């Protein structure tokens, strides 16, 4: 942990609201991205992030510094996102499909041709549909690894899995996604 971060954490533990706000500002966007990808719903993601930050504030004294502060926050946020998914398990998860709704999923592309845009949109629909069908654990592991670029160790910490369990969850998710794309003709 960086000395600067350790100072902010110490100040937040001492009750300084501005210090906790600094920690939130430094990590909030990343937490929202991962929660949005896990839940597939902006409102659920916002609820998960809010719940995660409240839990982090309440349990700041429990942070022991063995992992990075961001990893500790990710674990809390992923658990909150998974809880939101479980709460709405019976309801169909509405993955963002419209241009305005898909912001957390859009990748920057310099100047795509209309054909490329159409093909990308079709692939994104297939990927989003398959992510919606995955178990919450597979979805979370896949998102953390392939969207957020987290290491296996960070995924283990965030999802409370051992290395084998994390790798298996990622492997199952990739296998399901590959099969879905092959079946749709999107993957050669």
Task: Take residue 168 and report the two structure tokens written for it.
Answer: 């298996």
Task: Take residue 175 and report the two structure tokens written for it.
Answer: 């296998």
pLDDT tens by residue, 154-177:
899 888 899 999 999 999 999 998
Task: Take residue 42 and report the two structure tokens written for it.
Answer: 């902006």
pLDDT at 40: 86
Q: Which of 56, 34, 57, 58 is nearest to 45 (CA)?
A: 34
In the chain, the domains with their CATH numbers are: 3-104+112-184 (1.10.1740.10)
The single-letter DSSP state of residue 61 is G
Residue recorded with tokens 């957020």? 148
pTM assigned to the model? 0.64
Q: Which of 21, 51, 36 is nearest to 93 (CA)?
A: 36
Give 94 or 128, the one with higher predicted confidence: 128
pLDDT tens by residue, 16-51:
889 999 999 999 999 999 999 888 889 999 999 999
pLDDT tens by residue, 48-84:
999 999 999 999 988 888 888 888 999 999 999 988 8
Distance of CA 130 to the CA centre of its chain: 16
């Amino acid at each position: 942990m960086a000395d600067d971060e350790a100072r902010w954490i110490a100040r937040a533990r001492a009750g300084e609201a501005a210090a906790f706000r600094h920690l939130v500002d430094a990590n909030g966007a990343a937490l929202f991205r991962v929660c949005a990808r896990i839940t597939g719903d902006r409102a659920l993601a916002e609820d998960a992030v809010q719940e995660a930050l409240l839990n982090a504030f309440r349990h700041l004294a429990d942070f022991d510094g063995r992992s990075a502060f961001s990893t500790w926050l990710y674990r809390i946020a992923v658990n909150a996102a998974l809880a939101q998914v479980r709460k709405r398990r019976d309801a169909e998860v509405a993955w963002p499909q419209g241009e305005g709704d898909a912001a957390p999923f859009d990748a920057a592309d310099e100047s795509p041709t209309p054909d490329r845009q159409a093909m990308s949109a079709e692939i994104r629909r297939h990927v989003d549909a398959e992510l919606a069908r995955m178990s919450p654990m597979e979805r979370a592991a896949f998102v953390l690894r392939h969207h957020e670029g987290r290491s296996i160790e960070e995924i283990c910490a965030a999802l409370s899995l051992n290395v084998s369990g994390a790798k298996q969850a990622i492997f199952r998710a990739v296998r399901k996604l590959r099969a879905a794309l092959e079946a749709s003709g999107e993957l050669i």
